[in-house]
Structure 1
Amino acid sequence: MDELVPPKWVVRLLDFFCREEHVEMLKGDLYELYADRYNKKGKLHAKLFVWFDAMDLLRPFLLKRNLITHNNTIAMFKNFLKIAYRNFMRQRVYSLINTAGLAIGVACFLLIFLYIHDELGYDRFHSKADRTYRILEHFESDGVGEHSASQPFPVGPALINDYPGQIDHMTRLFDFQSPFLALANRKLDRNFNEPNVFFVDSTFFDVFDFEMMVGDKNTALDEPNAILITASMAKKYFSDENPLGQNIEFQGERNLVVKGILADAPHNAHFQFDFLVSFSTLRAYYQERNQNFTLNGWYWNPCWTYLVLNENTDPMTLTDMLPDFVQKYFQEGIRDDITMELQPLTDIHLKSKLDYEIQANSNESNIYVFSAVAVFVLLIAVINFINLSTARATKRAKEVGIRKALGSLKKQLIYQFIFESILQTILALIIAVMGIVFILSSFNTLTEKSITLMTFWSPVYLSAVAGLTLFVGLVAGFYPAFVLSSFKTTEVIKGGKLNNHGMNFRKVLVILQFSISMILIVGTIIAIKQLQFLQDDDLGFNKQAVIMVPVIGTPIASHYESMKSEMLSNASIKSVTALEEVLGAKHQVMNYTFEGVEKSKPYPRLFMRHDFLKTFDIPLLAGRTYDQSHVTDDSLALVVNHTMIKQLGYGTPESAIGKGVELMGGRKGKIIGVVNDFNFTSKHHPMSPIALDLWAQPFTFNLFMKYMAIKVDADNLQESIAIVASNWQKFIPSRPFEYFFLEDRLNESYKAETKLSMITTVFSGLAILVACLGLFGLATFTMEQRTKEIGIRKVLGIQTKEIVLLLSKDFMLLVGLSFVIATPMAYLMIDWWLASFAYRIDLMLWPFAVAGLATFLVAMITVGAHSLKAATINPVKTLKYE
């Protein structure tokens, strides 16, 4: 029968250690021993002891090869395992609680370790990652301006031309600053709006090591109208056809030839792509439109520019040269406001919170928070282990006494108990890993990761798991081993009481355990409240029921007014406008010269169309908004926010009306209106001035008008979407219809905080569960130790509620002390975290009270249930039991 065959890896052990002529004989002996154990005591027993049987059989060979130094080594470990097994089975409840608590703690720690390892690994798969930098631009005057992740078009080529000894390679990425670009395979009638399309230099693969599955990465991007697509996009656009050499239509006007197929971008790259188009295509595109100035200008900065420095180049040396570079190339009037900086590629994902990031990054402070949660959960699990192990010491007191009387040395006993601890840790680890295998998919969904089981086999992870097992086993077993081995032989054999042995230390551990639990509860509550504050607090405008439709690069310019009028003829459509960026998430910057200010300064700017204030319910404080009856509004008027007026020193909003301003292109106009402050970018940034600039020329839909914003009836969302879609199909049938709700897009700005609150909630809950398991075991053991006392007190007439109070008060006192310790620690840690936000909630008392009360109730229920059970036992049975 197959079940009577020992595990294959044990049989292979025999093959490895002994000579061929002995193998078959030893295998026969091993099969007999395994079958005998299986038939007498079951499969579990046979599997537990089979490798010790194998070691017994191999003992002569191991001694001969000096792999063991003493003939009793195997016998000693075999004896250790037998004792550990018997104790585990004799005290199943405590052992299972111990193992389960440790397994949960280890699983939480390993999962968070997986998450942190993934976060820290962003962009490190590139072979030149350690010397690859993104060049940043800070365009700021008197605290106003932008801190940009991108650069003007000519910066990259000029840098590599001026500093060839310092820079080996340069590449740029450009996406038309558009949320979508239209691509189509007309042959198969497949037409989509794609968000991840980049124009890149032919040197792209000299900087980044993305995998090319088909094609030559050295030449694929050399020619105009060349495009590379990922494997998933090849399937999407061409099904099972070979895409090489076939055409993909770009924006309905230009055919791009597929020159290669890329592997899908790794999830741990700071930008994701589906299509890469040669930069020379862009050059030809602008030449056809007589817009070469776009590629040659030093003001507009839409390109993400990356440099690979020479191996001998110190980044600081190049950084010191950048001020001269700025003075040489940037135009007069802005060059004194511009500084450039090198940002390491591997810092982007966790440390970069700049304007115009390619996509939302994570947050370095979250790594510290998750690390703390991981350590806290593991620490609680280890505390449980130590508490229960030391509490159970009296159960093994006679065993220790007899073994000492028979000549066992203290160090041998310590080895025994540490061995048991490590063995139990290994068991907990096995359970934890099995649990991770089952929940990894859900964990990936929660954290928006793509971590695979292959990660377990990486050297880093295997080393971490081995180190964790040894560390937890030693730490968790060290104190119990010394407690158990320190019992006095005469006292134990005479029946001396050891009930209070290690009691004070256990109390300290319980206090520490519940202090950590309270800190986690408070932290979770505050994280959730801060996220709600960021998402739901008054933004200064109404984000509800606003549909955003990307229109950049579409032929909407000549249809905008007609489409707007037709949509407004439906009662479900409340208001329509167009704007440059997603309100509340992004903005641009432009120079303005205001009356009373000596020179122009870079100010945040948002181009928009009429009815902007109406669509977003932004209050007007003074003056008027743009009006179609004022034909000069698009060239001679400007609306600004209240912060702008305060910064310019104009006094009240009313006094700012009529103040002169020089706009882009030398236009001289006036301030016609002042609006209330609103968060035109995320709440990670403080309030700053902004100019709302009307830009009504039709061509602006090619660049300056990227979205239509449509305010709809919140009670008829589906009907409203259908109206907008039908109008789109009527006026622009050649392009796919895309939309999103403004509220959903703004919530994505707080993805890092959302992830933080979810993860801390889940793992804090698990930490509290582990703490309860430990308290459950400790309370159970305490009740057993006081069984005789309870019986005597009942005979003497004590009431049940008094017994419950007597047995519970010690634990409740420990919870109270935990609250006193946890409160200031939690306050300091949470205040440090909140300090990173421009907008933050004030720390309140009630989360601390809730944490204390919740911990108290959980502890009271756990201990009280045991106390009540012990108090209701018939004293006759209790005394008979003793």
Structure 2
Amino acid sequence: MVNASPPKWADRFLEWYCNPALLEEIQGDAHELYYRAIKSGNRYLANLQFIWNVLRFFRWKNIKRSKRSNTNRSVMMYQNYFTVFRRGFIKQKGYSFLNVLGLAIGIACFLLISFYIRDEFSYDRFHTKADRIYRVHEIFESDGVGERSASLPFPTAEALRNDYEGQVVQAVRFFNFQAPTIAVATTTPDNIKEFNEPRLFFTDSVFFDVFDFDLVKGDKKTALAHTHSIVLTESMAQKYFKGEDAVGKFLRLQGSTNLLVTGILKDVPANAHFQFDFLVSFETLKEFYNGSMPPSWYWNPCWTYLLLKDRHDATTLQAAMPAFVQKYFPEFVRNDITLELFPLTDIHLKSHMDYEIQPNSSLTTIYVFASIALFVLLIACINFVNLSTAQAAKRAKEVGMRKTLGSQKMQLVTQFLFESILLCLLSVAIAVLIVVFALPFFNSFAEKDISPMVLFQPFYLGLLMALPLTVGIVSGAYPAFVLSSFKPITALKSNLSRERGAAFRKVLVVVQFSLSIILLIGTGVAMDQLNMLRKSDAGFAKENVIMIPVLRSPVSTNYEALKTELLRNPNTISVTAIEEVLGAKHQVGNYLIEGLTESKPYPRLNIRHDFLKTFNIPLAAGRDYSEDIVTDDSLALLVNEEFVRQMGWTSNEAAIGKTFGNRSNRKIVGVVKDFNFTSKHQPIRPLVLDLNTNPRAFELFIKYLAVRIKSNDVPATLEWLQEKWKTQIPGWPFEYFFLENNLENLYKNENKLSKITLVFSCLSIFVACLGLFGLSTFTVEQRKKEMSIRKVLGSSDSEIFMLFSKRFFVLILIANILAFPLAYLLMKQWLSSFAYQVSIDFTLFLVAALIAIGIAFVTICYQALHAARSNPAEVLKNE
């Protein structure tokens, strides 16, 4: 057998060619390869084969080993970074806690407000044809007086569909008798359930062709196609039929009309701009209007939606509206009417018309919330960057030592960025936990139903990944690129912890507290504005006024008897009837007033006798309607003071006797003091109070019974009223609400705004103070040797305290100086959207400044006193 051991030159070749670290490991492999080559018996060929095998096999193995080594080296490097991070986090746990908690709170606040904003912008976007659906508005104004209505006359939908079939695919109307509630009851004699329902609408059979609401049971094509059919939501099916199959059963409408249940809907999503519980086929309305639809082009009670073939057709159709108005609307109003197409997806935030189906939100509120979210997040990020740079400055000597031992600049940059991003990721994780636990409380006061699962949407997943990277890179940029660029000798000799970054941190503190002070001032102004809207004198009595819906009820034939019976209670002050909720809504009527050549639209309320007494509205001139003068309902009129000013009459007394209509015996008999007959978002406008004693007025015009009671023993009075109602109006549900409580809903947006602003302003101050506490702690640590020397040289505790704290108070003072003008300009801009504006109280600025200074004082007081009372001997010995 041939000796398989390679010659000495082969070993020397291996030592020259191979990685020395691998030589011992591969020596046996080399011998094995040589043995395989020598089997041919030719040693010369064996030598060549051996060299070839080394070049092929060992070169590959060496590269592979090298790559594996690089990978292991990278893993070990990041493990080392993580170890350094963990040790630093534990060693500086106070700073680390403040840093992570502050940023986590800021991110959590940002996420919560962004949930709210995204939900607001999501309204009606679940409809697949949303971009092609438009609502048509009717603007009926003359010289700035009239109405901007979200609804149209009955015939408009059909006329638009017929005249513009090239652009309009379908038209859908909604109608509810303009009634606050409609009576619904079961028909089973042994188990009758009766309720007044506020969310019942009549609608066209093509409803499901336009809107995407899920039908659980029934056929979308036929559910509303036939007269006397009704579709209800799952909640209402449970309410009326208790788990039974509601389809095929009957409900009774207004105590007389039986409707067949033909379908069950899923409950309407919360992000739909109109909510409903019942849909009744539009054909059923013919029963209420003598077998046909109302043909009037003046009365406009139908909310009308168009589905266009293409969204670009809206421009063409809008241009055709003036000709459409001239073609169909009555001559006496057509010159004052404009029709407007409004996108479905814009209704919730941008439509502020009269007679909305339900109150909308406001784009201004969204802008304010977005500003708050950005402010709080920015404050938190500034806090994080400030503490990170302060801590990083202490690591200058570490950087110098590492560079002395051979670390490259990119290694240092990578390490600092890695630690900063890791800290941000920890903050994000804590922020998500805060959001999950806080969301139920946030939903409660924001009136939302947002699920934590929204965090798994692509937008938020991307945000939660991008945020720590962005903030981490920004906060880690200073130590990564500045400290790592120092020469080792400079870093080891200089006290960089005080020399570097101090000015930058001061600027950040000023910006941070400026934003917090602006939020505090904004909160104060918002709360003042809300209190003014809610509590300032509206010009009429709204306390202890009970409103009872009576439209299309048996009250129409029994009003006087019911009124007499209710007045028998000593706690009943006065009873009247009115067209709309006073202080919230009105209607419009055309009146030809003396001095005008043609009739004009004016805000109007149909009322009954004792209206002024019930609502305690004083007369400015003339007299009230009198029950002793039977012609008052046809020949007399009451107007307000603004009406007199609009007409240009010299005084309220001059208005008395002015004629209206085309007959000289119809006269204005009284002028009432101005009062806010709509919300205080709008200025007081001219108003006509029109007496309507016709019993049929309860079929269309008179919607509420208003009963003013004494404040003592309200529950007993309500019980007594209910008993008398059942006696006088048997078989009709008794429901009521207090006027004062109802009017609170008009200012829901402002109430929500003030709550959210207050909560997040407090959180922003808290986050800012976390940063200030951290910085003051850092300053104490950096200056403890200096302060100890000062104490040895005779400085008192108070002098040390002032020396330490004055730098922070100077920063807070600068923050106030910057914040005051910015807050004033922002608040003036916000208040300009209100017809009635509270005057900005400059006391709020002083209060905000004192709060900021006070909180800052408390925040740094502990550290300042600790620095002042420290034992110089201990400090200097440790140094």
The answer to whether the 8 Å contact 2:541/2:616 transfers is: yes
Describe the SS at the equivalent of 1:660.
coil
Tell whether 2:686 aligns with 1:689.
yes
**Counterpart position of 1:29:** none
- The reply on whether 1:703 has 2:700 as its aligned counterpart is yes
Deviations 1:458-515 (A, max 9, x none): 2223223223333222233323433432443112334645323100000000000010
* Cα offset, 1:401, TM superposition: 1.3
Task: In structure 1, give the amino acid aligned to 2:586.
Answer: H
Secondary structure at 2:480's aligned position in 1?
helix
The structure 1 residue matched to 2:714, chosen from 710, 714, 717, is 717
The reply to whether residue 677 of structure 1 matches residue 680 of structure 2 is no
| Contact 1:210 1:262 (8 Å CA) reproduced | yes
Radius of gyration: which is bigger?
2
Given that 1:180 and 1:195 are in contact with CA atoms closer than 8 Å, whether structure 2 keeps it comes out as yes
2:797 aligned residue? 800
Q: Does 2:134 align with 1:133?
A: yes
Tell me, yes or no, if the aligned pair for 1:196 and 1:273 is still in contact at 8 Å.
yes
Specify the code of the residue in structure 1 equivalent to 2:255: G
Amino acid across the alignment from 2:115: L
Equivalent residues of 2:393, 2:479 under 8 A apart: no
Give the stretch that moved more between structures: 721-730 or 743-752: 721-730
Instruction: Tell me, yes or no, if the aligned pair for 1:169 and 1:308 is still in contact at 8 Å.
Output: yes
SS at 1:543 equivalent: coil
Given that 2:394 and 2:497 are in contact with CA atoms closer than 8 Å, whether structure 1 keeps it comes out as no
1:70, distance to aligned residue in structure 2 (A)? 4.9
Per-residue deviation, 1:649:
1.5
User: CA contact under 8 A between 1:729 and 1:737: conserved in structure 2?
Assistant: yes
Shift of 1:540: 1.1
TM-score, length-scaled by structure 2: 0.91
Q: Specify every segment of 5 or more residues in structure 1 that has no aligned partner in the other structure, as ranges.
A: 1-59
C-alpha contact (below 8 Å) 2:544/2:709 kept by paired residues: yes
Q: Aligned partner of 1:672: which letter?
A: V
> What is the identity, as a one-letter code, of the residue corresponding to 2:713?
N
Shift of 1:737: 1.2
Say yes or no: does 1:95 pair with 2:96.
yes
CA distance in 2, matches of 1:474, 1:314: 48
Tell me the CA shift for residue 621 of structure 1.
0.6
Matched, 1:166 2:167: yes
Deviation at 1:395?
A: 2.8
Alpha-carbon distance in structure 2 between the residues aligned to 1:854 and 1:124: 43
Per-residue deviation, residues 652-682 of structure 1 (Å, max 9, x unmatched): 011110110018xx89611000001111101
1:803: how far off? 1.3
1:762 to 759, 763, 766: 759
The amino acid that maps onto 2:131 is D
* Residues 694-720 of structure 1: per-residue CA shift (max 9 Å, x gap): 001111111211001111112332222
Aligned partner of residue 394 in structure 2, secondary structure = helix
Query: SS of the residue aligned with 1:625?
Result: coil
Q: Separation in 1 of the partners of 2:812 and 2:402? A: 38
Equivalence for 1:854: 851
8 Å contact from structure 2 (residues 109, 373) kept in 1: yes
Structure 1 position 246 matched with structure 2 position 243: no
- Aligned-residue Cα RMSD (Å) equals 1.8
Q: Give the alignment of 1:457-606 within 5 angstroms.
A: 457-494=456-493, 496-606=495-605
SS at match of 1:673: strand
1:291-440, aligned counterparts within 5 Å?
Answer: 292=292, 295-311=294-310, 313-440=312-439
Q: Which amino acid aligns with 2:84?
A: I
Displacement after TM superposition at 1:397 (Å): 2.0
**Once the two structures are superposed, what CA deviation does each residue of 1:281-311 show, in whole Å capped at 9, x if it has no partner?**
11233225xxx4x621111111110011112
Select which of 255, 278, 283 maps to 1:280: 283
Partner amino acid for 1:173?
F
Match of 2:155 in 1: 154
- Are the equivalent residues in 1 in contact too, given 2:772–2:860 (CA < 8 A)? yes
Residue number in structure 1 paired with 2:237: 234
State the AA in 2 paired with 1:177.
Q
**CA separation in 2, counterparts of 1:392 and 1:179?**
63
The whole-number CA distance in structure 2 between the counterparts of 1:526 and 1:69 is 62
Name the residue aligned to 2:21: none
Separation in 2, partners of 1:433, 1:734: 54
- Measure, in 1, the Cα distance between the counterparts of 2:674 and 2:177: 30
SS at match of 1:199: strand
CA contact 1:380–1:767 (8 Å) conserved in 2: yes
* 3-state SS in 2 of match to 1:499: helix
Q: Secondary structure at the match of 1:714?
A: coil
Letter in 1 for 2:805: S
Tell me, in whole angstroms, the C-alpha distance in 1 between the residues paired with 2:563 and 2:419.
76
Q: Is the 8 A contact 1:246 1:258 kept in 2?
A: yes
Amino acid at match of 2:504: F
Helix, strand or coil at the partner of 1:557: helix
* 1:787 aligned counterpart, secondary structure: helix
Indicate conservation of the 8 Å contact 1:135/1:305, yes or no. Answer: yes
Alignment equivalent of 1:192, drawn from 191, 195, 218: 195
| Distance (Å, rounded) in 1 between the aligned partners of 2:258 and 2:479 | 74
Q: Which of 200, 204, 210 is the matching residue for 1:201?
A: 204
**What SS does the corresponding residue of 1:556 show, helix, strand or coil?**
helix
Give the counterpart letter for 2:280 in structure 1: V
Query: d(CA) in 1 for partners of 2:503 and 2:144?
Result: 57
The one-letter code sitting in structure 1 at the alignment partner of 2:785 is K
Matches of 1:667 and 1:520, distance apart in 2: 60
Measured against aligned partners, the alpha-carbon deviations of 1:342-385 in whole angstroms (never above 9, x if no partner) come to: 00111111111110000011010111111111111111111111
The answer to whether the aligner puts 1:781 opposite 2:760 as a matched pair is: no
8 Å Cα contact 2:389/2:475 also seen in 1: no
Give the secondary structure class of the aligned counterpart of 1:621: strand
- Work out the CA distance in 2 between the residues paired with 1:496 and 1:626: 89
Alignment partner of 1:85 is 2:82: no
* Structure 2 contact 393–501 (Cα < 8 Å) conserved: no
- Give yes or no for the alignment of 1:118 onto 2:119: yes
Shift of 1:393: 2.0
Deviations 1:387-433 (A, max 9, x none): 11111123322221122122323232222212212111111111111
| Distance in structure 2 (CA, Å) of the matches to 1:348 and 1:856 | 44
**1:54 equivalent in structure 2:** none
Match of 1:661, SS? coil
Segment drifting more, 83-92 vs 580-589: 83-92
Aligned equivalents of 1:69 and 1:536: distance in 2?
A: 73
Matched-pair contact (CA < 8 Å) for 1:483–1:502: no
Kept in 2: contact 1:803–1:871 (CA 8 A): yes
Query: Given the superposition, is the C-alpha separation of residues 213 and 69 from structure 1 closer, same or farther in structure 2, using an over 3 Å criterion?
Result: farther
Residue 215 of structure 1: how far off its partner (Å):
1.1
1:622 and 1:705 map into 2 onto residues whose CA distance is 26
Query: CA separation of 1:68/1:567 partners in 2, compared to 1, >3 Å: closer, same or farther?
Result: farther
CA offsets 1:713-763 (integer angstroms, 9 cap, x no match): 123322222222121111112121111111111110011111111000111
Distance in 1 separating the partners of 2:288 and 2:510: 69
Tell me whether 1:182 sits opposite 2:178 in the alignment.
no
Distance in 2 between the 1:472 and 1:203 partners?
52
Q: Offset of 1:561 from its aligned partner?
A: 1.2
AA aligned to 1:799 is: S
Contact 2:132–2:311, Cα closer than 8 Å, also in 1: no
Counterpart Cα distance in 2 of 1:485 and 1:354: 61
**1:268 is matched with which residue: 255, 268, 271?**
271
Look up the equivalent residue of 2:375 and give its one-letter code: F
Q: Is the 8 A contact 2:109 2:376 kept in 1?
A: yes
Partner Cα distance (2:496, 2:338) in 1: 76
- Paired residue for 1:219, among 218, 222, 227? 222
| Residues 434 and 68 of structure 1, relative CA distance in 2, 3 Å threshold | farther
Equivalent position to 1:810, from 807, 811, 822: 807
Contact 1:635 1:667 in 2 (8 A): no
Contact 1:393 1:483 in 2 (8 A): no
Farther off after superposition, 310-319 or 507-516: 310-319
Contact 1:150 1:356 in 2 (8 A): yes
TM-score, with normalisation over the residues of structure 1?
Answer: 0.90
Give the paired residue count.
814
Q: Distance in 2 between matches of 1:319 and 1:412?
A: 64
Cα deviation 1:59-101 (Å, max 9, x = unaligned): x9xx99x999855332332222222111111110000100000
